[in-house]
């Protein structure tokens, strides 16, 4: 692996508006996808070379990722990818549960036309989830599921809430990726998503919040149980 210099496709990140943004997205995606696994150590120069990027924006991106808890800068060891334990992952999900519940509340009290735009977007993503499950494509399901929850939070129109959600959703992706093949097929997610959408359309803030939180509580409990059962201590 280390003998190759350009091992990770950073073309998606290249669409970011700045070099730092591109480096941030490329490193974050490489961590999420396991290209830089938990405990990985490397210099900023090595990371830049393996991503095919310049060192300066990589340095700035690493500083940002350190503030978000995804990496650490250590003397004589360079950049270290932070490993997450099941307890860490439980805390991550607890934050997501709170954030998505609040996002649902905020959307539910918006004007009907605004709510409908958000719901239409969520409907489309839920249909894509169903299509992925019908094809038994769990990777596509995971991608669309992540987009669904990101759209839910973004629909609330609260930038601070969205930033908190993004950091923690990125962290949770690591647990979801390693447990994807261990869990039952997530057909239940379609109905649970639909319950959220229906409550949002009805403008029922309490029901929307409860549905959003119950959905994530179930996901948290399932993933933590799988991590513990399979002795996955470092994600």
Domain with CATH 1.10.10.10 in the chain: 13-81
Identify the CATH number of the domain defined by range 13-81: 1.10.10.10
Domain with CATH 1.20.120.530 in the chain: 86-229
Fold of 86-229: 1.20.120
The answer to whether the CB of 38 falls within 8 A of the CB of 82 is yes
Q: What is the mean pLDDT of each run of 10 residues along the chain (235 residues)?
A: 43 58 89 85 91 91 89 86 89 95 98 97 96 92 92 96 89 82 89 98 98 96 92 80
- Give residue 225's Cα distance to chain centre: 19
Burial class (CB in 10 A: 0-12, 13-18, 19+), 59: middle
Half-sphere exposure of 193 (CA within 13 A, CB side): 26
* pLDDT reported for residue 17: 52
- Tokens 């099941």 correspond to 86
Say whether pTM exceeds 0.85. no
26 CB contacts (<8 Å, ≥6 apart)?
Answer: 8, 10, 12, 13, 51, 53, 61
């Amino acid at each position: 692996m280390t003998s190759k210099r350009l091992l990770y496709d950073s073309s998606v990140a290249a669409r970011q508006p700045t070099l730092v943004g591109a480096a941030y997205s490329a490193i974050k995606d490489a961590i999420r996808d396991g290209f830089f696994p938990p405990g990985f150590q490397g210099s900023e120069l090595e990371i830049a070379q393996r991503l095919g990027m310049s060192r300066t924006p990589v340095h700035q991106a690493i500083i940002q990722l350190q503030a978000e808890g995804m990496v650490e800068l250590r003397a004589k060891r360079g950049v270290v990818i932070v490993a997450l334990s099941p307890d860490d992952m439980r805390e991550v999900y607890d934050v997501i549960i709170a954030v998505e519940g609040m996002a649902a509340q905020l959307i539910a009290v918006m004007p009907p036309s605004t709510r409908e735009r958000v719901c239409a977007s969520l409907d489309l993503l839920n249909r894509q989830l169903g299509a992925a499950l019908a094809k038994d494509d769990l990777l596509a399901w995971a991608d669309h599921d992540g987009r669904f929850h990101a759209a839910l939070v973004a629909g609330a129109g609260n930038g601070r809430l969205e930033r908190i959600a993004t950091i923690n959703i990125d962290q949770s992706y690591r647990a979801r990726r390693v447990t994807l093949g261990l869990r039952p097929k997530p057909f239940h997610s379609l109905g649970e998503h639909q319950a959220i959408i229906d409550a949002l359309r009805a403008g029922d803030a309490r029901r929307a919040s409860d549905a959003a939180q119950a959905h994530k509580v179930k996901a948290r409990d399932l993933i933590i149980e799988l991590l513990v059962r399979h002795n996955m201590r470092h994600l």
